[in-house]
Amino acid sequence: MADECDTEHSVCGMSVAIDVVGGKWKLHLMWVLGEGPQRFGRIRALLPGVSEKVLTENLRHLESHGVVRREVFPEIPPRVEYSLTPAGVELAAALRPLEQWGERRRDGLFDPVSA
Amino acid sequence: MADECDTEHSVCGMSVAIDVVGGKWKLHLMWVLGEGPQRFGRIRALLPGVSEKVLTENLRHLESHGVVRREVFPEIPPRVEYSLTPAGVELAAALRPLEQWGERRRDGLFDPVSA
């Protein structure tokens, strides 16, 4: 499947996808937001290992790539919600088989060492 | 889809998958090895932005998680090849929709900013 990437690596599909979602926290964020719109505090609570700074940077990255939308609701105090755009919904769907692979592995459907 | 991860995040499928393949270079390596067995030098040539040290670390990580196999052929000089295990082949297949999403994005099938 890598044929079309050998000479023009920067334009292959996986490379484009990795630019958007490469990295542990971006994958986690896509998974968290796949559940529906979330407030910043809720996202932090769901991902306990990440600092506020890193979380903000990763959310901005996903926003700049058009897969996450940030909305501010004019309430007191203002409510800020993050959600998936249509492209983000497609991306989350494309990540679902990866999640399922992880579920099969977790359930021991193949041996992590000798498989 | 995140319901089952909220309270036990470490055991959700995406988390298990991210432990194995989270990070830009691991995703790239799965894609490169999805094409077939590769020698170390060939992998380096296909991924020009990565140092030998980082590449070795990432290959060892994938090997320790049972998705990549390292084989040494007793030739002079010895030939070392990396390939996917059966679990790795399944993982590469699970990553294919992500690659396809990247291909659609590259081809402009949705607007990267407003989509």
pLDDT above 50 for A14: yes
The span from the first CA to the last CA of chain A, in angstroms, equals 22
Residue A9 to residue B47, Cβ atoms within 8 A: yes
Contacts of B91 in chain A (CB under 8 A): 98, 101
Query: pTM for this structure?
Result: 0.80
B113 touches chain A (CB under 8 A): yes
Q: Is A65 on the interface with B (CB under 8 A)?
A: yes
Report pLDDT digits (tens) over B59-69.
999 999 999 99
Token pair for residue A52?
Answer: 């506020």
State the pLDDT at residue B11. 55
pLDDT value of residue A4:
44
Interface membership of A60 toward B (CB under 8 Å): no
Report the range of poorest mean pLDDT among A10-24, A40-54, B4-18, B36-50: B4-18
Amino acid at B43: I
Count of CB pairs separated by less than 8 Å, A with B: 183
**Predicted confidence band at A2 (pLDDT cuts at 50, 70, 90)?**
very low
Which residues make beta-bridge pairs with B71?
A: B81
The mean predicted confidence, pLDDT, of chain A is 84
- Report whether A13 contacts B99 (CB < 8 A): yes
Q: How long a stretch of residues is chain A?
A: 115
* Residue of A95, A101, A103, A107 to mutate, testing the B interface (most B Cβ within 10 Å of its Cβ): A101
Question: What is the pLDDT, as a whole number, of residue A82?
Answer: 98
Confidence of residue A69 (pLDDT cuts 50, 70, 90): very high
A68-73 and B68-73: which strand pairing?
unpaired
Report chain B's mean pLDDT, rounded to a whole number: 84
Q: Where are any strands of DSSP class E within A76-115?
A: 79-84
**In this predicted model, what pLDDT tens digit does every residue of A20-50 receive, in sequence order?**
888 788 988 998 999 999 999 999 998 888 8
